Amino acid sequence: MRDFPSCFGENGVQVADSSSPSSGRTAQNSVTCVYQCRLSGFSCLITVTWTKYLMGQGLSVGIDDWTNHCLCKVDIKPWLFSKRKGCRNLAVNSSLIDIFWDLSSAKFGSAPEPLEGFYLAVVFNQQMVLLLGDLRKEAYKKIDAAPVASKASFIAKREHIFGKKFYGAKAQFCDKGKTHDVAIECDTVGVNDPYLVIRIDSKAVMQVKHLRWKFRGNYTILVDGLPVEVFWDVHDWLFGNVMGSAVFMFQTCLSAEKLWSSQSISDPSELSWSSSQTFRDSQLQGLGFSLILYAWKNE
């Protein structure tokens, strides 16, 4: 089962299913971003996954058409002293796709995604369809490509976060909006009546008491004047596998509740996949930005 648009060829490196109890923490430490672009007039999704291993960083770029059919996928294996700069050239349906990256000066925080000092570019038939990073001038000097007329839209992000009581992430809920700090507070160890608090930029926007009875639900908050539907499932934290994760989804559209409620869920372990399918359906209908957070408790 696939939650985010992704594809694995014969030479691809398939990371373990992040919702499986047998998955290692190394495989779980990843950030996946999805961008909607146009290639020769048709819509496609470009999936960029940044992964952090004990042996270094890893990068994967996949391109799917609107039917979720894989056009191509490139895996840049973990590096320590090599492969921080390079390019890949691929021929897809009589067209040329070039992927360029330069992470030789990249600065990283605790997350696998670089903070600054890098660029990642996807070029289709000598047109720049996606350019990430702050070294934009350097990228255009290196790459002989013209800017594409329509800008790529950042439509979704999936991230694995870690903590004991506090969990944090950053999110931009609209294409040109402000980047916000998202904080989740939940203490389930030795607490008779655990509760859940979510803060945006240190301001509490929602609180769930009696969490053992309300371990799954949804609530609407306002961010930048936009309604954001928040869904949560902390079943594994309270009743399930001690190694399991809680799942949180932030969806910038009111229609998300209808999509969510249409899902038939009898097994709590299926919720994370269902939320991802909800994300997939909503993006295909153009319903806004989605952020999915898998929160893992540190041992």
Q: What is the pLDDT of residues 127-153, one digit of tens each?
A: 899 999 999 999 999 998 887 766 788
Residue 153 token pair: 């839209």
Contact 204, 213 (CB under 8 A): no
State the pairing for strand pair 95-102/107-108.
unpaired
> Tens of pLDDT along 239-249?
876 667 899 99
Determine the Cα–Cα distance for residues 202 and 190; give it in Å rounded to an integer. Answer: 25
Q: If you count them, how many residues does the chain have? A: 299
Looking at residue 253, its pLDDT comes to 67
The neighbour count for residue 26, using CB atoms within 10 Å, is 15
pLDDT for 5 beyond 60: no
> Tens of pLDDT along 209-236?
999 899 999 999 988 888 899 999 999 8
- The amino acid occupying position 233 is D
Residue 255 token pair: 């229609």
38 exposure class (CB count in 10 Å sphere: 0-12, 13-18, 19+): middle
Q: How many angstroms separate the first and last alpha carbons of the chain?
A: 28
The model's pTM is 0.76
- At 67, is the secondary structure helix, strand, or coil? coil
The neighbour count for residue 182, using CB atoms within 10 Å, is 23
Angle at Cα 34 formed by Cα 51 and Cα 290, nearest 5°? Answer: 105
What does DSSP assign to residue 270?
Answer: G
Contact 124, 106 (CB under 8 A): no
Instruction: Mark 244-258 as b/e (b = at least 16 C-beta within 10 Å).
Output: bbbbbbbbbbeebbe
Contact 158, 31 (CB under 8 A): yes
Looking at residue 254, its pLDDT comes to 44
> Tens of pLDDT along 73-94?
888 876 655 678 888 888 877 7
> Tens of pLDDT along 53-69?
877 788 999 998 777 78
Compute φ and ψ for 276, nearest 5 degrees: -70, -35
